[in-house]
Amino acid sequence: MITLSSRQREELVQISTEVRLPARTIIYREDAAAEWIYAVAVGTVKSYRDLPSGRRALAIFLFVNDLFGLAENGRYVNTTEAVVPVTLCRFSLSELMGLLQQDAALQFRFLEKVTHELRESQRRAILINRRDATGRLAMFVALMAARTRQAGQPEGDVPLPMSRSDIADFIGLSLESVSRASADLERRGLVKFESRHRARILDRAEFDKLVAAV
């Protein structure tokens, strides 16, 4: 979690605009000219690429305080879309770059943030490679639970704002396999899917064991 000094916060506020968007809005498309960097203030965003085969590969979900707008050669790498109604902070890329060049301490926070994301990305890449569908889904629920926990909410109760097919695209399974994997987690008494967008971890010990059994 990044903490900023009040001065840093103020510098950022000065070059940022708040944006509210309804669910399913495309924020930007892959290959579009990258003019803005975003931070999630409220809600959930997904970042993905549609592959030639028709499959959609979901690179990452973005939650409160996450930054996004990664570009390469001035073009966005992924397409991003609001999963639910969202509020975003939008920064002009050039202004932000200028600010970072001047304020080494602020830039350092960004460096920490990106480094953290890199770690997470590598970790996910490793975990996602496990072969069993049930384990993959458990891992995903564990990731979401960790996020909830660090946001200070009571754990055990895990919000899943995204759809099953988003989950499928993220963990690299078919939609049907995700469904069967959830059924399996319920049958084994580890997780209860209380509604479409809410899971509850029932047997923490056994659940963690499954997650760790990579």
Partner DNA sequence: CGGTTGGTTGAGCTGTATCAAAAGATGTGG
Partner DNA sequence: CCACATCTTTTGATACAGCTCAACCAACCG
128 or 186: CB nearest a second copy? 128
SS (H, E, C) 15-78: CEEEEEECCCCEEECCCCECCEEEEEEECCEEEEEECCCCCEEEEEEECCCCEECCEECCEECC
Q: Which of residues 112-171 bind DNA (CB under 7 A)?
A: 131-134, 163-165
CB 56 within 8 A of CB 46: no
* Dihedral sign (CA 184, 185, 187, 192): negative
Binding-site partner at residue 100 among a second copy, DNA, none, CB < 5 to 8 Å by type = a second copy
102 or 153: CB nearest a second copy? 102
Q: How many CA atoms lie within 13 A of 103 on its CB side?
A: 19
90 or 164: CB nearest DNA? 164
Min separation Cβ 160 and DNA, Å: 9
DSSP code, position 202: S
Interaction of residue 82 with a second copy, rule CB under 8 A: no
Query: Cα(32)–Cα(203) distance, rounded to whole angstroms?
Result: 45
39 or 133: CB nearest DNA? 133
Beta bridge partners of 88: 19, 40
Interaction of residue 33 with a second copy, rule CB under 8 A: no
Binding-site partner at residue 87 among a second copy, DNA, none, CB < 5 to 8 Å by type = none
Q: Find the binder of DNA among 31, 112, 176, 203 (CB under 7 A).
A: 176
Query: Cα(20)–Cα(27) distance, rounded to whole angstroms?
Result: 11
Interaction of residue 15 with DNA, rule CB under 7 A: no
Q: Find the binder of a second copy among 13, 126, 146, 151 (CB under 8 A).
A: 126
Binding-site partner at residue 59 among a second copy, DNA, none, CB < 5 to 8 Å by type = a second copy
Query: Cα(127)–Cα(121) distance, rounded to whole angstroms?
Result: 10
CB 170 within 8 A of CB 164: no
- Which residues of the shown chain bind DNA in the complex (CB under 7 A)? 131-134, 163-165, 172-180, 182-183, 193, 195-196
Task: Give the residues lining the site for a second copy (CB under 8 A).
Answer: 49, 51-53, 55, 57, 59-60, 70, 72, 77-78, 100-105, 107-108, 110-111, 114-115, 117-119, 121-126, 128-129, 172, 212-214
